[in-house]
Structure 1
Amino acid sequence: MSIIISNISKSYKKVNALKNISFDVKSGELFGLIGPDGAGKTTLFRILTTLLIANEGSAKVADFDVVSEYKSIRKSVGYMPGKFSLYQDLTVEENLEFFATIFGTTIDENYDLIKDIYVQIEPFKNRRAGKLSGGMKQKLALCCALIHKPKVLFLDEPTTGVDPVSRKEFWEMLKRLQQKGITILVSTPYMDEAALCDRIALIQDGEILEIDTPQAIVKHYPKQIYNVKANKMYQLINALNDYKYNHSVYPFGEFVHYTDSRMDFNSKDLEVYLESKNLSSIEIEETKPTIEDTFMELAK
């Protein structure tokens, strides 16, 4: 195993950021930590990268203990924090050279690892990092995290605030890095990115809700979900929330995802009810669950 986490807990005064967290990440795996802001993702990453010490529990990264062997871990991992943290007054090339020097290596020595990423920012190598676009900053930060050829790569919400095209490109880069044998632990609030991981852990309020492959987690969803649509979205949500048989109601794109508490649900009954609430153009159809549906159900 590349990462072993055993009963980790962490508190900030009266806030329990992590509550008895345990899971492992296999060597060469692309593992996703999926949850909203404030779920505890960043706190866990800081513990695993030796920037914080847990109140309870233990963890190993690349076979090293995060407390007693922290120096060895820092040489063995790459860490890309959620906030862009490179030197904004240095150029692209100067940032890379700086981080390579810190780890006792050179850009040329591990160029094969960053080549596919670096060629995209090379035309801007003399531009200061602070003047780069969000997508280019992301690529530069990833290059700096990889420059010493780490065994494990930690990426804390790497695509937050990045445009959809850059997000897609970034995940394609991660898949290529995985093929080179690097273990990747990535956190994200985006449920659609969860499906791109080998396995995921759903986390909420410092607790792990479920750990499995994305396909298995979706398969475990216990109810039939319905896409519901009407002429007035806001009134539709309120009406469904007031419906005495509702189990769950929440917006999902142009639809509302609805589940019913009855075993013998009849969509015609619901349609009649919605019409009584002065709604029209009503559509009700079965749909398949997603990671987001599963998360919402578990978080209840």
Structure 2
Amino acid sequence: MTAAPPVAAPTVAIEVEGLRKTFGERVVVDNLSMSVQRGQIYGFLGPNGSGKTTTIRMLCGLLTPDAGRGTCLGLDILTQAREIRRHVGYMTQKFSLYTDLSVRENLEFVARIYGVPRPEAAAQEALVRLGLEGRGRQLAGELSGGWKQRLALGACILPQPQLLLLDEPTAGVDPQARREFWAEIHALAAEGLTVLVSTHYMDEAERCHEIAYIAYGHLLAQGTVPDVIAGSGLVTYVVEARRGAGLDPTGTIAALGKALKADPVVEMVAPFGISLHISGHDPATLAAAIAPYRERPDLAWSQETPTLEDVFIDLMLRSPDTSR
């Protein structure tokens, strides 16, 4: 008799529908539905107090929703939350390991707490993987922000979770450390680890396979970065002040920005050095608003694809703050 082929692991890591969570009379998450593929890096964006952390905690069984249904890693988020938590690594923004223990001692302690086989060997493997082998004897409290985050990541992945939660993991970390951190996150995802990350950095959001924008409990946009930008409906012009003898590019841009912000048909004006991003949703109205300035010799105009930051700010401006 021919043996049955092995059953393939489900490709969907998280699938939820109609999630709702309230604290007292305040609705923190309202009717949220989404799907996350295994091995995907899924980014959560949104203003402070918008429900990002609450959403992440419901998705992985750390918080029970008041309404809705769904699965995480093939387990029911309502009835199997404890089992889900056994497969989750959670890295908080604040460093939460023992500052008076060495890097190696912290990793060995975590390995023993989670019952990892051969904890010393497991800690050594984590040291090598994350480039910490030269710092094994250093006290964790003496590490810089970037190295602390790398150590925290190593502790999170020691028990070999299937799902990793990162809550603004690189806040206050220098650009090189952030890039190295994200390189490791992508390496982990390529090995099949699913990652949920909340961030305010647009360059980090662009490193995610998909993103979701949540504002005050409502999911306003989700998909790949190009899809979210295309779905925003924004039209963006970029104007740059020319440099040259007798020209004042800084003053020119400041005056132009002030004039355009005073125009009620211009929805958004954002300065970038000696240039401005000018955006709106009605192409004809926006074109008419900037027409008087298009022929000025001291200005160079172009129409460009909106940036993710343009979309982020637009969504924020159009989202009423219901957190108060």
TM-score class, shorter-chain normalisation, is 0.7 to 0.9
Residues 1:196 and 2:207 aligned together:
yes
Partner of 2:196: 185
Q: Is the 8 A contact 1:110 1:149 kept in 2?
A: no
Q: Is the 8 A contact 1:227 1:258 kept in 2?
A: yes
Partner of 1:90: 101
User: 1:270 aligned to 293, 301, 313, which one?
Assistant: 293
User: 1:116 aligned to 111, 114, 129, which one?
Assistant: 129
Moved more, 10-19 or 33-42: 10-19
Residue 60 of structure 1: how far off its partner (Å): 2.5
Partner of 1:251: 271
Partner of 2:313: 296
CA distance in 1, matches of 2:265, 2:293: 9
Aligned partner of residue 105 in structure 2, secondary structure = helix
Q: Is the 8 A contact 1:45 1:156 kept in 2?
A: no
User: What does 1:92-241 align with in structure 2 at a 5 Å threshold?
Assistant: 92-105=103-116, 106-109=119-122, 115-117=128-130, 120-230=131-241, 231-232=250-251, 233-241=253-261
Structure 2: where are the runs of 5+ without partners?
A: 1-11, 242-249, 319-324
Residue 113 of structure 1: how far off its partner (Å): 6.7
CA distance in 2, matches of 1:124, 1:178: 25
Q: Is the 8 A contact 2:104 2:124 kept in 1?
A: no
TM-align CA RMSD: 2.5
Moved more, 78-87 or 262-271: 262-271
Deviations 1:235-254 (A, max 9, x none): 43332111243132233454
Share of identical aligned residues, percent? 36
Query: For residues 24 and 111 of structure 1, do their structure 2 counterparts lie closer, same or farther at Cα, with a shift above 3 Å needed?
Result: farther
TM-score computed with the length of structure 2 as normaliser: 0.81
Between structure 1 and structure 2, the one with the greater Rg is 2
CA distance in 1, matches of 2:149, 2:173: 8
Query: For residues 83 and 59 of structure 1, do their structure 2 counterparts lie closer, same or farther at Cα, with a shift above 3 Å needed?
Result: farther
Deviations 1:9-36 (A, max 9, x none): 2223343322222111111111111223
Residue 103 of structure 1: how far off its partner (Å): 1.2
User: In structure 1, what residue type is equivalent to 2:292?
Assistant: D
Residue 98 of structure 1: how far off its partner (Å): 1.4
